[in-house]
Amino acid sequence: MMDWTDRHCRYFHRLLSRHALLYTEMVTTGALIHGDVARHLRFNAEEHPVALQLGGSEAADLAHCARLGETWGYDEINLNCGCPSERVQRGAFGACLMNEPKLVADGVKAMVDVVGIPVTVKHRIGIDKRESYEYVRDFVGIVSEGGCRQFIVHARNAWLQGLSPKENREVPPLRYELVHRLKHEFPQLQICINGGFTELDAVMQQLRLLDGVMIGREAYHNPWWMRDWDALVFNDPHPVPSRDEVESRMVDYMERELAEHQTPWHSIARHMLGLRNGLPGARRWRQVWSDHRLKSRAPREVMAIARESWPLEAREPA
């Protein structure tokens, strides 16, 4: 989810669900140690609960960055052992770390020793053609010895050669049964599943077997389905804001961000373009919010233009 789940995206998603745990983009240890810490770690108080996802392999660096994350107020530190991109491989972290479970365990222990918040690991079920259950079982077993108590398992292999990151989300087959076996073998651990979920019924089915479900791109492209999560998953049937209310609150946020951080509204609006997916006129609404010719206009003006173009039959009742 690089370049997707930034703090503006997470603010938007929090308007749709009060309880879902939100994750940052993967932030490398090098970026935090040698770069602008505030730029990478600043987030809105409204985002809680929110987890900082780290990319790295050196135990001392991970410990330093985990401590930074806790100091900045994150609720969880997550180590990414699932990203298959070539850039990540060159840094010797991400999915290739599954070949070095002892190194991952050492990194986890180093983080657990210096923070008081949960340290979790996100990973795949295998690498390349290693498709045996024993491979992922041994990885989880060894890493859990470092103090990790929650694993988020993307139920596909990661092919480190020959597939793009996009293809790695689509070509290797989903094997949910391996994740279920992990929970059966490690009942003391929290085992969550990730990969291919687009319907709430499928999510609820997994929650009867496992401890959690991670949703990625589907929540980004079709965010409105998040409106049901609090009532059905978290047993909190609070009133759900309308799409118009969500859009208005995002405009409030754009104005706040412009005043406080000089953030241009179009860098925020891009994250809410899926809000009206499936409705008549959604394409025209997206076009207005994506129109570079409107960049100099105030976001409230752009919202007015978008709503003027909205077909009467698709408008929500007052």
Please list the active-site residues. 83
User: Residues 272, 303: contact at Cβ < 8 Å?
Assistant: no
- Long-range residue pairs from 284-290, CB within 8 A, at least 24 positions apart, any chain: 284/309, 284/310, 285/309, 285/310, 290/266
Left (φ > 0), alpha (ψ -120 to 50) or beta: where does 195 sit? left
User: Residues 166, 124: contact at Cβ < 8 Å?
Assistant: no
Q: Exposure pattern of 169-207 as b/e (b: 16+ CB <10 Å)? A: beebebbbebbbbbbeebeebbbbbbbbbeebeebeebe
Q: Which residues contact 262 (CB under 8 A, 6 or more apart)?
A: none
Query: Can you tell me which residue has the tokens 């970026």?
Result: 31
Q: Would you state the structure tokens that stand for residue 30, as one six-digit string?
A: 């090098």
The DSSP line for 115-162 is -SS-EEEEEEEEETT---HHHHHHHHHHHHTTT--EEEEEEEEE-SSS
